[in-house]
Structure formats: C-alpha cells, structure tokens
Amino acid sequence: MMRIAACAVMGLGAALMVAAMLLSTYTVGKIAKIPLDIDVTLIGNGSGAALDPESLGGEHAIVDQDVPLVSQQQITVESPANADVVTLQVGSSLRRADRQREAGLLLAIVDTVTLNRTTAQAISDDTHPGGSVQRPRNFEDEAPPTNIALPHEGLTYRFPFETKKQSYEYFDPIAQKAYEANYEAEDDVNGLTTYRFVQNVGYDSDGRLAEPVRYPSLYGHDEDGEITAPGRIWNIEGADPDEDVTMTRYYAAQRTMWVDPVSGTIVKSKVHANHYYARDPLQPEVALADYTVTSAEETIEAQVNAARNERDRFALWSRILPITFAAAGLICLIGGVLIGWFSLPAEAALARAGRDGSEGGFFGGFAPKAPMAERPSGAEAETEKLPTQRPQLDRPAGPPESSPSDSVPDQP
C-alpha cells in the first residue's frame, strides 16, 4: 500500500509540473490577446485656435484664439471578431466647448480597422484591406453611411502585450499612413508604471513643422483639401481682396502616448495637432484647428483600471498559477520519494516476520526491549546445578592427617 501511495503522489507531482509548464507557455499565448468586449469612450480636454464656421459667410474668416476644446473617441468591437482577430470601430471628434451641437463640431472621422489580437498589428493586404473610413455626410443626410476602403499598417489604437522599449509603426488615420512611435522613458501614471512613446507626423523632434502632410480629403472631388476663395475671405494682408487665392489644407501632429507595457493599453494620451490652410506648407496662414488636448482624469483612471485588470488576469495565468503548480508538484515528487524510501524497510521487516514467525520491528526487524518490570529478578533466575561427590561408606576412617609443620623428626 505504501508503494502504491508513493506512485500516486509522484504521479500527481508530475502532472502538476506538466500543468505549470503548459500554463506558462501554451495557455499564456491564448490569453495574451486584445479583449473582445471593448466599449469605451475616451475624453480629452484642451484649448487652441479654431476657425469660426459662421464667419465664412461674412467678409473674412475669423480664427478664434484660446478656444476650449473637447476631443472624444468612442471605441467599440465590430465583426469580424474571433479567437484570432478583432475589429475596432473608432469614432473621433473635436468640438468647441463654447458652442452647441453642430455649431461646435470642428473635426470628425469614423475609422474601422481589423487587428491581430496577439500582435495588435493591422491585418491588411491587396485583397482584404482590413480597414476603412466612413465617407463624410451632411447632418441632413438620412442615407446610411458608406465606407471607403483604407488599408492600415502597423499598430492602431493599441500596443501589443508585453510592449518593448523600442520604436513601433503606429497608424494615423487622418494622414492615412503609419509613422514611428519612439520609446522615450518610463513614467508613473496614477501609480501604474508606463512606457512613454512619442510620434511625430509632420513635426520634428523639437515640435517644429518639418514635413506636414497634404490633407487626404475623404470627399470625391477634394472639396475640403483645396479651396479657392477671394483674398478677403482668407484675410491675407496686402493681397487684392477680390482676387481668388487657392489654399491647400495641411496636417501635422505630435502624439504622446503612455502605454501599459503588460497589456498594451494606452492609458493616457496628449495630442498636439494642426489643421491649417496655406500656400506654403511650412507657413500656416489660416488655422482650421491648431490645438492641444490631454486625456481627462476620468478617462485616465478608467484606462488605468482596465490595464490593471488585464495585468491581474495575465499574472494569474503566467506567473501565479504556474509557480503554485510547480511548487506543489515539487513537494509531491519529494513526498513520493520519501514514502517509497520508507516503504523498503517496512517490506523487509514484514518479510522476515513471515519467515520465522517472530514479531519484527518496523525499521530492520529490531524488536523493542522489554520493560524493566518484566525482566526476571536475580533470585528467580535459573542457576546451574553442580554435581556432588557421593561419600564412600566401605572405607575405614583413619586418623586425621596432620600437616607437615606439626610432625617431629625421629631422634637417632
């Protein structure tokens, strides 16, 4: 029975060790993926220069300074979404906080991208672009929205699990191109250690315009990418107010992202973007929106909590359970060996007892000594009886012999 118990305990230990290895390799790869239940709204607050849309019907365009602005991103999961891929639909907008509803809307875009759940890379090729943007519509348009295919590349809205301290290609849906997001440093965000990445689109590392992007219009005839209007509309000093001037729209942005390195969640972001019209791309003339917005505190707190939940789930399957199973398995293996080792003298003792009928001890057949009370006393001990010489009755008794010292020699 002890041998069977030893084998059972060692078998359990081996099973636990195998489970620990599987958890740390196979199972972790199955859970280190972008969740399928994402449904968040990210809010950012800031200020900047913004064009007053109502002024376009007047004498000239008016650009208001220090306007309070609010950015919003609504991220949801759409189809296809399965064990391997997830499709994110992101509606982004920028509004003036001092205007109501449509009067305050400055920018809006609806971007859709299909990502690999493990690498967070966009899945896109010539046959399946893997992404799209929604064609702009008027507020009075009741027709359902239509999409324009837009191939994505690199990361979008997420970083991979176990983010490294390196540069990543990160897609900008407005520029419709991926740019490098470079690792800069570690920062603490609400008690969470994060990696700070900075991406420059049209700016250099010092925040100066370097290579701004010509805005790729989503309209069929580039209606908002290039506009021709009288000089007075553009409010150009020294120009003929009635002479038509053609302006081109440009875009540049500097994006700072604080990323949880375990789950790849962007817990905080800061965006400085500039949409402007100009004849020379490096000399902005009329700002459509030149602003800086930073994630609101409520958004940061919600994203940090989401990242912590992902961290806890990942740590449970990648470290806590494997270490626990490995430790329990090692204990079982050692315990099984010890049980098996102690079973050998027990079996030997039982075998000897079966051969000679005596009662053997557990360890090597050594019987315990009898207590002192059970040992026989000296009086009761068996003594050896010596035989006695039988007397000779037929021989006459003579005088007793004297010792030589008592005899007297004869006189001559």
Domain ranges of the chain: 1-29+312-350, 38-295
Mean pLDDT of 236-254: 88
pTM, whole model, 2 decimals?
Answer: 0.74
* Per-residue pLDDT, 100: 81
Nearest to 345 by CA among 362, 357, 330: 362
Distance CA 248, CA 246 (A): 7
Instruction: Evaluate whether 85 touches 118 at the Cβ level (below 8 Å).
Output: no
Residue 244 has pLDDT above 70, yes or no: yes
* Per-residue pLDDT, 277: 94
| Average pLDDT of the residues of the chain | 81
Burial class of residue 68 in the structure, from the number of CB atoms within 10 Å of its CB (0-12 exposed, 13-18 middle, 19+ buried): middle
* Per-residue pLDDT, 412: 39
Pairing of strands 177-189, 213-214: unpaired
- Side chain identity at residue 396, one-letter code: P
